[in-house]
Structure 1
Amino acid sequence: MSYAGPEFDSPQPRRPRRRPLTLALAVLVPGALLGWLVYAGVSGAADGGGTTAAASPRASAPPAVSSTTAEDKKPLGSLRGKVVVIDPGHNLTNFRHTAEINRKVDIGTNRKECDTTGTSTNAGYAEAKFTLDVAHRLRTLLEKRGATVKLTQDGDRPYGPCVDERARIGNNAKADAVVSIHADGASAGQRGYHVILPGRVHQGIADTRRIVAPSARLGERIAHDFGRATGTAPSNYIGDGTGLDTRTDLGGLNLSKVPKVFIECGNMRDSKDAALLTSGAWRQKAAQGISEGIVSFLHGQRSAR
């Protein structure tokens, strides 16, 4: 752009009067140029490149890593590609099929009933109703994170499934984690939650040797996050305050070939625990705590690889 004005008029013939200014400029310009060159060199060395920090406000930032894997591109907290099986304990209509649920099935260490009716609060709120409600809430939370979620039963069966079939469902799904949801039926005054871990079993058709360690990690994460999310304490009657209990007499654990735990969310026979278990808001917290434990476990697995 050109600009016509008095500062750009043709020079007048009074050159001697401009000589001091010309001399000053002759001195100052090379000095300024030399100073700029020194500054540019120092700045370029400081930010590791040939440009100065003033040239770009991001010049001093570390270079971005260009190589990424498919795992790195997953959103933070994503469970895409992971399979979780949720096992809602018992079945609301088991009581109508006593012959079927009393049938004995092989659990490796011995033979045990196909299933049971479960327990209930003193007011009649059934454990099976509780477990299915929490399972639905948990499924929603996990699916939002991208997991593939399967239920062993969704209120769509006349009874069961039997404990051995519950284990097979998780095995056949090649699940990354399986959680069986329950609520206990202990004496009044016995309160709190606990997570049941599979013990080491290698007998008959049962072999838990490969899943004991990962199941323990899964159980520990769930116990921690469940207590934090629900604001409840670990069991005061099982687990010595740890909220963890190891057993070898449960077919659902003995026959599992993938990481699996049970969680007893509280005691339905204690009035204070029952008040929590029958609250929809608390059941949402319970599902949230279990979900966070599963997410923590699965991301821990990913980091270990």
Structure 2
Amino acid sequence: MSYDSEPPTSPPPPTPPRRSGPRTLVVAVAVLVPTALAGWLVWQVMSGPGDSAPTAMPLPDKSRSATATAVKPAPTPTPTPTPSGSKDDKPRRAGPLTGKVVVIDPGHNPGNFRHTEEINKTVDVGTHRKECDTTGTSTNDGYTEAAFTLDVSRRLRTLLEEQGATVTLVQNDDRPYGPCVDERARIGNEAKADAVVSVHADGSAVGNRGFHVILPAVVKAGAADTAKIVAPSRELGTRIAGKFVQATGMAPSNYVGDGTALDVRKDLGGLNLTTVPKVFIECGNMRDPKDAALLSSGGWRQKAAQGISDGIGSYLKG
């Protein structure tokens, strides 16, 4: 993941003194002010709570600010918006996914490009060592993958919470970079998530179009042991792929997965180190102009979130 005051005017030329002037002015003000205040009090008694305040009468400078304070209605407090990634005390909505825990992993981080030294450090992913994280790709117009994944993930979170699920975002543009791929996996594991989805967009060649879902391979090396989650992860990925087509109308990838929209990999730390069902989804190819036009559309991103949500819901409801 933005008083004007009146300019001073030149004093008027002196006016010859008049005996009756000051006495007449004092009397006039003495009569005018009580009359105005009395009228205001009558208005306050007669008007209801929905009435608007009357236009303030011009008064001598000394009483202007006090009078304005007295008649000005108290401002309605503006609620402070809850940060997108923070917890709040509102009761969770009951629904078909009540009791289910979903972790959404928005790929990359908008701040990664400012922290290349940190994200280039390697971490152990079981089979080998891999970069902590990467900057991700972007469209030719400069719309970044990190911005895309956050937007889709936030929309997805809303859809799932409306069905009663407890949802956690791995990152919400609330940290300077990362987290590293091993920590991303650990967040889902520690949450004992029923499903984890990592949201991405691809950066392939022009002409390569469509989406695909990446599934974990059977891996047992070092801290990686995916034997127990390979089958449920495939079921999760298959459900998401089917619902994604229905919601977005996007065809499966024409360059990965042989038309199945499914791809199995053993080189991704986020999948190697997971102990709960988890998949990645590459929602399209940001480097192809036709796919990029879709990914850059807010309306299409809502459809993408809906498709992923429908797939997760179908998997969790059995």
TM-score of the two chains, using structure 1 as the length reference: 0.73
Correspondence 1:153 to 2:171: yes
Residue of 236, 241, 244 corresponding to 1:226: 244
How many angstroms does 1:133 deviate by?
0.1
Matches within 5 A, 1:71-82: 78-82=96-100
Correspondence 1:126 to 2:126: no
- In the alignment, the residues of structure 1 paired with residue 213 and residue 245 of structure 2 have an alpha-carbon distance, to the nearest angstrom, of 11
Residue of 278, 283, 295 corresponding to 2:313: 295
- In the alignment, the residues of structure 2 paired with residue 238 and residue 185 of structure 1 have an alpha-carbon distance, to the nearest angstrom, of 13
Residue of 81, 96, 99 corresponding to 2:117: 99
Residue of 295, 299, 303 corresponding to 1:281: 299
Equivalence for 1:169: 187
How many angstroms does 1:280 deviate by?
0.3
How many angstroms does 1:286 deviate by?
0.1
Residue identity matched to 2:262: L
Q: Residues 71-106 of structure 1, C-alpha deviation per residue, up to 9 Å, x if partnerless?
A: xxx97x610000000000000110110111000000
Residue identity matched to 2:170: T
Residue of 222, 245, 248 corresponding to 1:204: 222
Equivalence for 1:51: none
Residue of 179, 190, 195 corresponding to 2:197: 179
Calculate percent identity across the aligned residue pairs.
75
Q: Secondary structure of the residue that 1:192 maps to in structure 2?
A: coil
How many angstroms does 1:196 deviate by?
0.1
CA RMSD of aligned residues (A): 1.0
How many angstroms does 1:142 deviate by?
0.2
Please identify runs of 4+ aligned residues in structure 1 that moved more than 6 A: none
Q: Residues 241-275 of structure 1, C-alpha deviation per residue, up to 9 Å, x if partnerless?
A: 00000000000000000000000000000000000
Residue identity matched to 1:238: V
Unaligned residue ranges in structure 1 (runs of 5+)? 1-73, 301-305
Equivalence for 2:260: 242
How many angstroms does 1:145 deviate by?
0.2
Q: Secondary structure of the residue that 2:317 maps to in structure 1?
A: helix
- In the alignment, the residues of structure 1 paired with residue 208 and residue 183 of structure 2 have an alpha-carbon distance, to the nearest angstrom, of 31
Q: Secondary structure of the residue that 1:167 maps to in structure 2?
A: helix
Q: Residues 94-122 of structure 1, C-alpha deviation per residue, up to 9 Å, x if partnerless?
A: 01101110000000000000000000000
- In the alignment, the residues of structure 2 paired with residue 240 and residue 107 of structure 1 have an alpha-carbon distance, to the nearest angstrom, of 27
- In the alignment, the residues of structure 1 paired with residue 128 and residue 106 of structure 2 have an alpha-carbon distance, to the nearest angstrom, of 23
Residue identity matched to 2:175: R
Residue of 108, 128, 132 corresponding to 1:110: 128
- In the alignment, the residues of structure 2 paired with residue 223 and residue 92 of structure 1 have an alpha-carbon distance, to the nearest angstrom, of 26
Unaligned residue ranges in structure 2 (runs of 5+)? 1-92
Residue identity matched to 2:231: A
Length, aligned pairs only: 226
Largest Rg, 1 or 2 = 1
Correspondence 1:190 to 2:228: no
Q: Residues 25-55 of structure 1, C-alpha deviation per residue, up to 9 Å, x if partnerless?
A: xxxxxxxxxxxxxxxxxxxxxxxxxxxxxxx
